[in-house]
Amino acid sequence: MWRLIALAVTAGTGLGYLALMRVAPGTFGWTYPRGGMVILMFSLLAANAAIWVAVRADLTLARKFELCAAAWIWLLVQAGGMAWMYVSFR
Protein backbone atom coordinates (compact mmCIF):
# COMPACT_ATOMS: atom_id res chain seq x y z
CA MET A 1 0.00 0.00 0.00
CA TRP A 2 2.80 2.47 0.88
CA ARG A 3 4.48 1.82 -2.44
CA LEU A 4 1.32 2.80 -4.30
CA ILE A 5 1.00 5.95 -2.21
CA ALA A 6 4.62 6.79 -3.06
CA LEU A 7 3.85 6.34 -6.75
CA ALA A 8 0.80 8.58 -6.39
CA VAL A 9 2.87 11.30 -4.68
CA THR A 10 5.44 11.05 -7.49
CA ALA A 11 2.77 11.30 -10.16
CA GLY A 12 1.17 14.26 -8.41
CA THR A 13 4.51 16.05 -8.15
CA GLY A 14 5.21 15.41 -11.83
CA LEU A 15 1.80 16.72 -12.81
CA GLY A 16 2.38 19.72 -10.56
CA TYR A 17 5.58 20.51 -12.43
CA LEU A 18 3.76 20.20 -15.75
CA ALA A 19 1.15 22.65 -14.45
CA LEU A 20 3.94 24.95 -13.28
CA MET A 21 5.45 24.83 -16.76
CA ARG A 22 2.14 26.08 -18.16
CA VAL A 23 1.78 28.82 -15.55
CA ALA A 24 5.34 30.15 -15.83
CA PRO A 25 6.79 28.88 -19.12
CA GLY A 26 9.70 31.33 -19.08
CA THR A 27 10.83 30.18 -15.66
CA PHE A 28 10.18 26.42 -15.66
CA GLY A 29 10.81 23.99 -18.51
CA TRP A 30 11.87 20.45 -19.34
CA THR A 31 15.55 21.15 -18.65
CA TYR A 32 15.57 24.40 -16.71
CA PRO A 33 16.09 25.53 -13.95
CA ARG A 34 18.83 23.16 -12.78
CA GLY A 35 17.70 20.21 -14.87
CA GLY A 36 13.97 20.87 -14.65
CA MET A 37 11.55 18.01 -15.12
CA VAL A 38 14.27 15.54 -16.11
CA ILE A 39 16.26 15.81 -12.88
CA LEU A 40 13.11 16.04 -10.76
CA MET A 41 11.79 12.76 -12.17
CA PHE A 42 15.17 11.03 -11.73
CA SER A 43 15.27 12.05 -8.08
CA LEU A 44 11.67 10.98 -7.46
CA LEU A 45 12.29 7.64 -9.17
CA ALA A 46 15.33 7.12 -6.93
CA ALA A 47 13.16 7.77 -3.86
CA ASN A 48 10.57 5.30 -5.14
CA ALA A 49 13.29 2.73 -5.77
CA ALA A 50 14.47 3.12 -2.17
CA ILE A 51 10.93 2.45 -0.93
CA TRP A 52 10.63 -0.64 -3.14
CA VAL A 53 14.05 -1.95 -2.06
CA ALA A 54 13.23 -1.46 1.63
CA VAL A 55 10.80 -4.40 1.58
CA ARG A 56 13.58 -6.91 0.86
CA ALA A 57 13.86 -9.61 3.49
CA ASP A 58 17.66 -9.61 3.64
CA LEU A 59 17.92 -6.03 4.95
CA THR A 60 18.10 -5.25 8.63
CA LEU A 61 15.25 -3.39 10.27
CA ALA A 62 17.48 -0.36 10.81
CA ARG A 63 18.41 -0.25 7.11
CA LYS A 64 14.75 -0.60 6.08
CA PHE A 65 13.82 2.28 8.37
CA GLU A 66 16.64 4.46 7.05
CA LEU A 67 15.69 3.84 3.43
CA CYS A 68 11.99 4.46 3.98
CA ALA A 69 12.49 7.54 6.15
CA ALA A 70 14.92 9.15 3.70
CA ALA A 71 12.74 8.35 0.69
CA TRP A 72 9.53 9.62 2.29
CA ILE A 73 11.21 12.80 3.49
CA TRP A 74 12.50 13.41 -0.04
CA LEU A 75 9.11 12.73 -1.66
CA LEU A 76 7.20 14.95 0.76
CA VAL A 77 9.70 17.81 0.54
CA GLN A 78 9.54 17.72 -3.26
CA ALA A 79 5.73 17.57 -3.27
CA GLY A 80 5.46 20.40 -0.74
CA GLY A 81 7.94 22.52 -2.67
CA MET A 82 6.05 21.93 -5.88
CA ALA A 83 2.76 22.95 -4.28
CA TRP A 84 4.35 26.07 -2.78
CA MET A 85 5.90 27.10 -6.11
CA TYR A 86 2.65 26.54 -7.99
CA VAL A 87 0.73 28.74 -5.55
CA SER A 88 3.48 31.38 -5.62
CA PHE A 89 3.69 31.59 -9.42
CA ARG A 90 -0.03 31.30 -10.09
| Crossing angle for the helix pair 2-23 and 36-53, to the nearest 10 degrees | 170
Q: Where are the domains positioned within the chain?
A: 2-89
Distance separating alpha carbons of residues 28 and 23, to the nearest angstrom? 9
Contact partners, residue 6, CB within 8 Å, separation at least 6: 47, 48, 51, 71, 72, 75
* pLDDT band at residue 90 under the 50/70/90 scheme: confident
Report how far residue 9's alpha carbon sits from residue 2's, in angstroms, rounded to the nearest whole number.
Answer: 10
> pLDDT tens for residues 30-71?
999 988 999 999 999 999 999 999 999 999 999 999 999 999
pTM for this model (two decimals): 0.88
- Write down the pLDDT at residue 1: 86
